[in-house]
Structure 1
Amino acid sequence: MDPKGPSEGGRDSIWTVDVEQNKVRLMRIFVEREDPTSKEADDLMLRRFLRARDLDVEKASALFLRYLKWRRAAIPNGLISESEVQNQLAEKKMFMQGFDKKGRRIGLVFGGKHQSYKRDFEEFKRFVIYTLEKLCGSMQNGEEKFIAIGDLEGWGYSNCDIRAYIAALDIMQNYYPERLAKVFLVHVPYIFWTAWKIVYPFIDDNTKKKFVFVENKNLKSTLLEDIDESELPEIYGGKLPLIPIQDSTA
C-alpha cells in the first residue's frame, strides 16, 4: 500500500482547486474596483489569466486590466468582420478543422502561403484576432483550449515575417492566455530555423513547452495520437476536407 494513502493525490487536487477559487475571488474584487466592466467576465476567464501568471493575483490582475483596455481599442464593435481582413483571407492560409480527442478545436495554418512582402501590418493583427476569436468562440462542452497545426511546406525567405510572428505571439500570450494547448509544426524546412532562433526568445516559458516539431516520417502517426482519423485533414491521411476558417461553423 502507498504509505501516503490512496486519497492523498485527491486531497492535493482539491487543495489546488480551492487555492485557485480563492485567488479568483481576490482577483475579481481588485479588477472590478479598477474597471467595473470586469463584472462581465466569468470566473473561467479570470482563472485563465491567473494561470498565465502562475497564480500571482497582482500580476494576473494587471494583465487582465490591460486586456480589457486593449479589447476596447482593438475590437471596438465586439468582433472583426471578414471585410476587415479580406486580403488575409484571400491567401487561403487559415483553416478550422474539427476537434481533437479531448474536444479541443483544431486550427491549421499554412505558413508558406503568408505573403510577407505585401501584407498590411494592421490588417495582419486584425486577422490574428479574427482567427483567435473564431477558434475560441467555437469551443464546445466547456473546453477552453485549442490545438494548432502549423504547416511550413514551401516556406522560404519570402514568407519570413519576424515582425508579424512576434505580433501574433504578443496577442495570443497577453490577450488570449491559456487558450493554446499545443502546436504541431510539420514539414519544417531547414531554413526555418533561422527565423525560429529569432522568435524563440519572445515565446514565454509556458508556451515554449507547447510546440512539437514533427518529423515527416512520423507525421500521420504523431497527429493520430491526438486527433481521430475522422477529424484529421485529408492532406495528412485523414478523412476531413480542408475547411477555410471563414466557412467553418461550430
Structure 2
Amino acid sequence: MKSGEETEHFGELNDLPDDSHFLKPYLLKLRQKAGQEDILCEHLALSDNFLIRFLRARDFDVDLSLKLLINYHRWRRECPEISANLHSSSVLGLLQNNYHGVLKSRDASGSRVLIYRIGQWNPKDFTAYEVFRVSLITSELIVQETDTQRNGLKAIFDLQGWCFAHAFQINASLAKKISAVLTDSFPLKVRGIHLVNEPLLFRPVFAMIRPFLPDKIKQRVHMHGSSFLCSLCQHFPHSILPPEYGGTGPGLDEVCQDWTSFIAQSEEYLHQLSVTGPP
C-alpha cells in the first residue's frame, strides 16, 4: 500500500482505482466546492464515478476540476443544438456512411484513438452541428472508461474530400464551441490531433479555430499532408492502424461499423444524457 505522501503525486493518484480511499478527500472537496456554485445546484447528486472524471482530467487539482465541471454544465446548457439530442438516431445516417470510428486497440501510451473521415460527410444531408454531435456522443461514451480518463485520446482527421461546402458550414461561433470542448469544457485529455490529406481549402477553417486553442493543444496538432503513411506510423503503432493508414489493424470500414453498432447499443445511456443529463 502506498503511503499518504506518495499518493500526493498525480501519477500515482491517477493509477488508483475509483474506490480507493486515497481519492475520497479529493472527491469530498470537489463536491463541497460544487455545492457553492449556483450553476451546479441542480446536479449535486452526481456520482463519485462522474466527479472523478474531472479530477483525472485536471491532475487532481480540485480548483481546476471545479472550473472544468462548471464549464461542462455551462456548455451543455448554452449549446442545446448539439448537446440536447444525443440519440444515435439523430446521426445514424452519417455513422452508417462510415464517417467515424474508434480503433479497437489503444496506442502505446494507452490513449483511445478516434478517426474521422470528412469525405464521408455530405453537407447537404448533415450540418456541422450534427457532425459535431457525433464527436460529443463518442466523447460521452469513452469518458466512462477509466483508462481513457487516465490516458486521454488522440484523433485522426482524414480531410480527403474536403470542399467549399464543408468550409461554408464552419463559422466563428461553431469554431469557438469546438475549441471549448477541446480545451476547457469536457473532462478528457486531448493528447494529439493528427490531420491527413488536408487540402489548401482547409487552412482558412483551421486558422479560424486555432486562436481559441491554448498553446498546449496547438503543439499537439500534427499536419501530415497526403504523404502520411510514414509520419503517421511515427506516432501510432503499425499494429493498431488500419491498412488505409499504413497499419496492420482492422480496416476502416470494419472500425466504423463496429463503433456505429456500439453507439446504437448505448442508446439507453445516450437517452438519459439527453433527457436528464449526466448520472
TM over 0.5: yes
Q: 1:149 is matched with which residue: 156, 160, 175?
A: 156
- Answering whether residue 34 of structure 2 is matched by residue 31 of structure 1, we say yes
- Amino acid in structure 1 at the alignment position of 2:116: V
- Amino acid in structure 2 at the alignment position of 1:96: V
Q: In 2 relative to 1, CA 15–97 (structure 1 residues): closer, same or farther, beyond 3 Å?
A: closer
- Answering whether residue 117 of structure 2 is matched by residue 114 of structure 1, we say no
Scaled by the length of structure 1, the TM-score of the pair is 0.73
Structure 1 residues without counterparts, runs of 5 or longer: 1-12
Return the offset for 1:66: 4.1
CA contact (8 A) 2:142 2:148 kept: no
Map residues 11-30 of structure 1 onto 2, 5 A cutoff: 17=10, 26-30=29-33
Return the offset for 1:169: 3.0
Structure 1 match to 2:261: 247
Structure 1 match to 2:194: 184
* SS of corresponding position for 1:80: coil
Structure 2 residues without counterparts, runs of 5 or longer: 1-5, 15-22, 264-279
Map residues 158-237 of structure 1 onto 2, 5 A cutoff: 158-160=165-167, 161-163=169-171, 164-217=174-227, 219-237=228-246
Number of residue pairs matched by the alignment: 232
Tell me which moved more, 116-125 or 181-190.
116-125
Q: Distance in 2 between matches of 1:170 and 1:141?
A: 19
Q: Distance in 2 between matches of 1:237 and 1:139?
A: 29
TM-superposition CA deviations, 1:152-172 (whole Å, max 9, x none): 112121222313554333334
Structure 1 match to 2:72: 67
Return the offset for 1:68: 3.8
Q: Distance in 2 between matches of 1:171 and 1:96?
A: 18
Q: Distance in 1 between matches of 2:231 and 2:34?
A: 42
Tell me which moved more, 96-105 or 15-24.
15-24
Q: Distance in 2 between matches of 1:165 and 1:92?
A: 24
CA contact (8 A) 2:68 2:186 kept: no
- Amino acid in structure 2 at the alignment position of 1:61: L
Structure 1 match to 2:90: 84
CA contact (8 A) 1:24 1:46 kept: no
Tell me which moved more, 120-129 or 229-238.
120-129
CA contact (8 A) 2:179 2:209 kept: no
Scaled by the length of structure 2, the TM-score of the pair is 0.67
Q: In 2 relative to 1, CA 32–41 (structure 1 residues): closer, same or farther, beyond 3 Å?
A: farther
Percent identity over paired residues: 19
Q: Distance in 2 between matches of 1:49 and 1:141?
A: 10
RMSD between superposed Cα atoms in Å:
3.6
Q: In 2 relative to 1, CA 104–172 (structure 1 residues): closer, same or farther, beyond 3 Å?
A: same
CA contact (8 A) 1:24 1:43 kept: yes
CA contact (8 A) 2:27 2:48 kept: no
